[in-house]
Chain A
Amino acid sequence: MSKVIDYASALPPLPAPDYLHDGTGLRSWLLTVDHKRIAVLYMISLTFFFMVGGIAALLIRLQLLSPNSTLMEAETYNRMFTTHGVIMVFFFLVPSIPAVIGNFIVPLQVGARDMAFPRINLLSWYLYVIGGLITLYAIISGGVDTGWTFYTPYSSLYANSKVVPTVIGIFISGFSSILTGLNFVVTIHTMRAPGLTWGRLPLMLWSLYATSIIFILGTPVIAITLALVGVERVFHLGIFDPKMGGDPVLFQHLFWFYSHPAVYIMILPSMGVVSDIIACFSRKRIFGYGFVAASSIAIAVLSFLVWGHHMFVAGESVYSAMIFSFLSFFVAIPSAIKVFNWTATLYRGSISFETPMLYALGFIGLFTMGGLTGLMLATLAVDVHVHDTYFIIAHFHYIMVGGAVMGYLGAIHYWWPKITGKMYPDIWGRVSAFIIFIGFNLTFFPQFILGYLGMPRRYYTYPEEFQMLNVFSTAGASILGVGYLMPLVYLLWSLKYGKPAGPNPWGATTLEWKVSSPPPKHNFASIPLVTEEAYDYTKEPTNAA
């Protein structure tokens, strides 16, 4: 896609250390301002939190194996699903692709040597870790039982658990999101290489840019909202408690004003990843590039106008419910545009099926199902029935796990050779992608039926007629668990035994593939000059630096 004026390669090869070997020892990692090392720090800490949240999920599924299970008491179960939700949403899904892949890829894809604010970038990781540790402390020292939604007045007055440390942890880690978003926006605006116009940006960057808008505009609202919960709990100021003149439903408005857009924080980066992967593995420019790019921004803007669809049965007026329902359907359109364009990209392509592509194709299938079931939830009369049932659980797991986690794993497998310089065994990658797809559907599809039958969420015990579908779901969860463990094993294996990747193992066109793998500390010896669009697959690719 671009002509790189690469003086370094014109000269006799100097053994310039790559970013992984430029400085060793704990200090060189913990005080680094290199965006790539910060990405690796994020990757390690996110993997830890993913495992904590995953273990909680597995215990939840074990409890639900039988209708009157004695594995956990009500109190323990309530803490377990709260742990799962809080950890997975705030400490895995929200930061996942932006913090790990975004931090690594954004400067490389814009052709810059680092982020606009490298020190703020490091600060954001520390804020994330401090917030995470405080939340972990809350979970270990007594737990939280409010659900990740913290509905008042239960959370602010009635809950007898560690609500305050948890919201402090989330509050602090929120600043990590805000700073990351700020860094992306400034970097993408000001540090693009010469010739890299907005119309030539990889779609990954468009997605991360849209995500950053939500980070910056939405996160302060959730931070303030959770702070208010803490204030009411500690100082007994009447904000949400009706007995003191507060309004419990006000909390829901504030909470969903962030938490609905947060869904798009999770899914937009995956959409960017999928766009890059599909272009690469079908050797085609993305069909309707402009529409796909614009739809990311449209999703980010529309996401702020639909929060009321979480509250159709919460006591909002009939008319505002109708307006929110109407607006919610509009979010479906840019999502549909993306799916159709990805599909059309495959037409007359040259398609190969390495691991990242399998994740991307799996993403399309699962996201389509998640998105279409979203239509049922935007529809007023249907939502009344399925709201707060397992139908909702199934729907948002199709988006957040089927969509966001598939995208995250796709991204890890796509950029792993760039990050580590090593290839993982592709056959194991394909097997794990397949197992995850099967396990995922077996886990969550039965929950759609459960939900329509009326099984409410957050029940540690349930009527017996729901058992069979719960058994399917738990069986699927164990398959899914195996699927998630496999990459952990073979990716770590590849660090030591993997074949060298070379700079461009997939024959991709975006700028990060022009530098060696792993990239040198300052990415580009000289700033590249971009002369072509992002996905120009008409030329012979090279896998040589």
Chain B
Amino acid sequence: MNTSLQLIPDQASTTAARTDALFLFILAVSVFFTLLIAGLVIYFSLRYRRKSPDERPKPILGSLKLELAWTFLPLALVMIMFSWGAIIFFSNSRPPADAMEIYVIGKQWMWKFQHPEGPREINTLHVPVNRPVKLLMTSEDVIHDLFIPAFRIKHDVVPGRMLTQWFTATKVGEYHLFCSQYCGMQHANMNGKVIVMEEADYQKWLTGAETGSSAADAGEKLFLKYGCALCHSSRAPTMAGLFASTVKLADGSTVKADESYLRQSILQPRAQVVAGYSADLMPSFAGQLSEEQIMQLLAYIKSQKEVAATSQAANNSQKEGDSPSQAVSNSQKEGDSPSQAVSNSQKEGDSPSQAVSNSQKEGASPSQSVVKSQKEVASPSPAVSKSQKEVAATSPAATGNESP
């Protein structure tokens, strides 16, 4: 980050330069008209200043030609602005299909990020350069807004809804990340940074960070824990291949099984019932699952493409073996990546209460030493996890998908 006076922020995403070009175009038009008006006002004021008190200038009624000119010329100019802006906006609203998905939860007053491969972070987001990243965002309490000036993107994070935005970072570096929708007392401290890394460094960071389970794995555990699997195998629709498919509903309409449909089906199961199934079968899980858990369930459901049941089971048992260490290692990630520690301590100066709640919630510091040793234990068998990871990295959507 540059500390000298800048006029334009860093351009660090594919859309940054496009947005700036459009901005500069409108700026040029604006400067032209401001100078035109100011110039005319000053020129007329000097040229036609009152020289004697009894001057009676001839009235001028107006000119239809001029009126039409300064109606339609500006109209043409603003229509260019509209179209140009709409084109960029429209393309920015369509994330590429292969975008890496990161779950984002906003809560008073912190940002939680969950990477597809497992690592979770608070207020710091590590992303690889030149890879499209799609943020799936929701809020646990009030409306927040995730704003990354260097990427020229921003979107509200609304409770009860899953909204998305995406970017492809183009420049390695550290950039501000702000909450830009007023959300209460520590709104000004609900910020952090985005760290854009070379792909290799990102992979290295993942390795260093990764001992935890992926979102999909965590979701799978919830799926078992809450007994979803009991029905969603026979009496209720199965999850295999459900995501992004078209579902026929009891009322005859169809709906695409996207994140918001799945989310709603968990929280309000009777709203859109699948054709051929009882509406009374499924209870609502509203109030039982946190936003984070819902996201993990969604990640699990999304990972369930047409999977062969046998390999799935094998995969499960293998994963289960890791689980005792997971809770501990997760907490490590959330509290303790070196950069995080810095930003946390900064914050502690400002609001002791927040820092306390952070550490309480994530249980960061006390487990640190445990985690260290855990990691050393984990290291002798990197081959297995590495190979898994490589599969995951190339196709993040297929995290839980076991290749035969």
Q: Contact between A452 and B85 (Cβ–Cβ < 8 Å)?
A: no
A residues 270-298 touching B (CB-CB < 8 Å): 282-285, 287-291
- Which B residues are in CB contact (< 8 Å) with A288? 61-63, 66-67
Q: Which of A68, A146, A385 contacts B19 (CB 8 A)?
A: A385
B248 interface hit (Cβ, 8 Å): no
Asked if A22 lies at the interface with its beta carbon under 8 angstroms from chain B, I say no
Closest-CB distance, A544 to chain B (whole angstroms):
16
B154 shortest CB reach to chain A, Å: 5
Q: B26-59 interface mask toward A, CB cutoff 8 Å, 1 = contact, 0 = none?
A: 1101100110011011001100111100111111
Q: Enumerate chain B residues within 8 angstroms of A290, measured Cβ to Cβ.
A: 62
Q: Decide: B85 and A458 in contact? CB cutoff 8 A.
A: no
A457-B180 CB under 8 A given contacts A154-B142, A329-B79, A348-B58: yes
Chain B stretch 146-184: residues in CB contact (< 8 A) with chain A: 147, 149-150, 152-156, 158-161, 163, 176, 178-184
Q: Is B357 an interface residue when CB atoms closer than 8 A count as contact?
A: no
Q: Is residue A304 within 8 Å, beta carbon to beta carbon, of the partner chain? A: no
Question: Which B-chain residue is minimally distant from A323 (CB atoms)?
Answer: B86
Instruction: For A321, give the chain B residue with the smallest CB separation.
Output: B89
Q: Which residues from chain A contact B178 at a C-beta distance below 8 Å?
A: 454, 456
| A199 CB to nearest chain B CB (Å) | 12
Contact between A153 and B142, CB atoms less than 8 A apart: yes
> Interface 1/0s, chain A 237-263, versus B by CB < 8 A?
000001100011100000000000000
- How does the 8 Å CB contact mask read for B122-148 relative to A, with 1 for contact and 0 for none? 000000000000000000011101010
Closest Cβ of chain B: how far from A156's Cβ, in Å? 10
CB of B9 to closest CB in A, whole Å:
5
- Is B9 in contact with A454, judged by CB distance below 8 angstroms? yes
Expressed in whole angstroms, the minimum distance between the Cβ of B259 and any Cβ of chain A is: 13
Contact among B7, B82, B180, B286 with A325 in the assembled complex (CB-CB below 8 Å): B82
A144 interface hit (Cβ, 8 Å): no
CB distance from B49 to the nearest CB of A (A): 5
Evaluate whether A315 and B86 lie within 8 angstroms (CB atoms) in the complex, with A288-B63, A329-B81, A375-B30 already known: no
Choose from A145, A348, A538, A539 the contact partner of B184 (Cβ within 8 Å).
A145
Contact between B2 and A465, CB atoms less than 8 A apart: yes
Most chain B CB inside 10 Å of its own CB: which residue of A152, A379, A452: A379
Which of B69-77, B214-222, B239-247, B302-310 has 4 or more CB atoms under 8 Å from chain A?
B69-77
Which chain A residues lie closer than 8 Å to B23 at the CB level? Answer: 376, 382, 385, 452
Q: B176 to A365, Cβ gap below 8 A?
A: no
Contact A348–B57 (Cβ < 8 Å): yes
User: Nearest Cβ in chain B — how far from A18, in angstroms?
Assistant: 28
> Are A158 and B79 in touch, CB under 8 angstroms?
no
Q: What is the minimal beta-carbon distance from B17 to any residue of chain A, in angstroms? A: 12
- CA of A336 to CA of B36 in the docked complex: distance in angstroms? 13
Q: CA A134 – CA B5 in complex, angstroms?
A: 44
CA distance A449 to B26 in the complex (A): 15
A367-405 near B? 1/0 per residue, CB < 8 Å: 011001101101111111101110000000000000000
A485 within 8 A of B: no
Contact across chains for B62 and A289 when beta carbons are under 8 A apart: yes
Smallest CB separation, A471 vs chain B (Å): 11
A492 within 8 A of B: no
The stretch that binds A, out of B186-194, B317-325, B330-338, B389-397, is B186-194
Nearest-Cβ distance from residue B393 to partner chain A, whole angstroms? 30
> Are A350 and B48 in touch, CB under 8 angstroms?
yes
Whether A459 pairs with B86 at a CB distance below 8 angstroms is: no
Chain B residues, CB < 8 A from A504: none
How does the 8 Å CB contact mask read for A395-422 relative to B, with 1 for contact and 0 for none?
Answer: 0000000000000000000000000000
With CB as the reference atom, state the residue of chain A lying closest to B40. Answer: A343
Majority SS at the chain A contact face: helix
> Does A8 make an interface contact (CB < 8 A)?
no
Please tell me if the beta carbons of B86 and A380 are within 8 angstroms of each other in the complex.
yes
B227 to chain A, nearest CB (A): 23
Chain A proximity of B291: nearest CB distance (Å) = 11
| Residues from chain A with Cβ under 8 Å of B176 in the complex | 454, 463
**Smallest beta-carbon distance B151→chain A, Å:** 9
Chain A, 341-361, CB within 8 A of any chain B CB? 341, 343-344, 346-353, 361
Whether B82 lies near A452 (C-beta < 8 A) is: no
Bound-state Cα–Cα, A149 to B156, Å: 15
Known: A318-B93, A372-B33. A248 touches B153 (CB 8 A): no
Chain B residues contacting A247 (CB-CB under 8 Å) are 160
Q: What's the minimum C-beta distance from B55 to chain A, rounded to whole angstroms?
A: 4
CA distance A377 to B56 in the complex (A): 43
B60 interfacial by beta-carbon distance below 8 Å: yes
Q: For residue A353, which residues in chain B have a CB less than 8 angstroms away from its CB?
A: 45, 49
Set of chain B residues within 8 Å of A302, measured between Cβ atoms: none
Q: Which residues of A contact B62 (CB under 8 A)?
A: 287-291, 341, 344
Q: Are B78 and A329 in contact (CB under 8 A)?
A: yes
Chain B residue contacts of A368, Cβ below 8 A: 33-34, 37-38
- Decide: B89 and A465 in contact? CB cutoff 8 A: no
A120 within 8 A of B: no
B67 contact from A149, A337, A352, A449, Cβ within 8 A: A337
Check A158–B63 contact: CB distance below 8 A. Answer: no
Across-interface contacts of A43 in B (CB, < 8 A): none
**C-alpha spacing A75/B38, complex, angstroms:** 42
Q: Report the minimal beta-carbon distance from A453 to chain B, rounded to whole angstroms.
A: 5
Provide the bound-state CA to CA distance between A425 and B234, in Å: 89
- The interface residues of chain B lying within 8 Å CB-to-CB of A540 are 54, 56
- Whether the Cβ atoms of A384 and B158 lie closer than 8 Å is no
B22 CB within 8 Å of chain A: yes
Cα A341 to Cα B78 with chains together (Å)? 19
Judging by beta carbons under 8 Å apart, are B86 and A322 in contact?
yes
B90/A318 in contact, CB under 8 A: yes
Given known pairs A347-B44, A351-B49, A382-B19, the reply for A333 and B34 (CB within 8 Å) is: no
CB distance from A328 to the nearest CB of B (A): 8
Is A350 touching B56 in the complex (CB atoms < 8 A)? Answer: yes
The answer to whether B22 touches A382 (Cβ under 8 A) is yes
Question: Which one of A242, A351, A388, A536 lies within 8 Å of B50 (CB-CB)?
Answer: A351
Q: Please report the C-alpha to C-alpha distance between residue A75 and residue B30 in the assembled complex, in whole angstroms.
A: 38
Given A290-B62, A329-B78, A452-B9; A384-B89 close (CB under 8 Å): yes
Q: Quick check: is B108 within 8 A (CB to CB) of the other chain?
A: yes
Docked complex Cα distance between A540 and B55 (Å): 9
Which residues, 1 to 32 on B, are CB-close (under 8 Å) to A? Answer: 1-3, 5-9, 15, 18-19, 22-23, 26-27, 29-30
Do residues A369 and B34 form an inter-chain contact, with CB atoms below 8 A?
Answer: yes
By the criterion CB–CB under 8 Å, are B57 and A388 in contact? no
Is there an interface contact between A458 and B44, defined as CB atoms closer than 8 Å? no
Tell me which residues across on chain A come within 8 A of B147, comparing CB atoms.
388-389, 454, 456
Q: Residue B185 at the A interface, CB < 8 A? A: yes
Q: B203 near A: Cβ within 8 Å? A: no
CA distance A264 to B42 in the complex (A): 27
Interface flag for B378 (CB, 8 Å): no
Contact of A337 among B1, B29, B61, B70 (CB under 8 A): B70
Chain B proximity of A369: nearest CB distance (Å) = 6
Given that A158-B108, A384-B153 are contacting pairs, would A74 and B351 also be in contact in the complex, using a CB cutoff of 8 Å? yes
Interface check B258, CB cutoff 8 A: no
Assuming the A-B contacts A346-B44, A372-B33, are A456 and B70 also in contact, with contact meaning beta carbons closer than 8 angstroms in the complex?
A: no
A465 vs B4: C-alpha distance in the bound complex, in angstroms? 7
| A315–B163 touching, CB < 8 Å | yes
Bound-complex Cα distance A369 to B351 (A) = 39
Query: A526-545: contact bitstring with B at CB < 8 Å (1 yes, 0 no)?
Result: 00000000011111100000
Bound-complex Cα distance A221 to B50 (A):
48
> Which 10 pairs, one residue from A and one from B, show the smallest C-beta to C-beta distance?
A242-B160, A454-B149, A379-B85, A380-B89, A381-B88, A288-B62, A372-B30, A346-B44, A350-B55, A459-B188
Q: 6 pairs across A/B with beta carbons < 8 Å?
A: A74-B187, A242-B159, A287-B61, A326-B82, A344-B60, A389-B147
> B residues within 8 Å of A by Cβ?
1-3, 5-9, 15, 18-19, 22-23, 26-27, 29-30, 33-34, 37-38, 40-41, 44-45, 48-51, 54-63, 66-67, 70-71, 74-75, 78-79, 81-82, 84-86, 88-90, 92-93, 108, 141-143, 145, 147, 149-150, 152-156, 158-161, 163, 176, 178-189, 286-287, 350-351
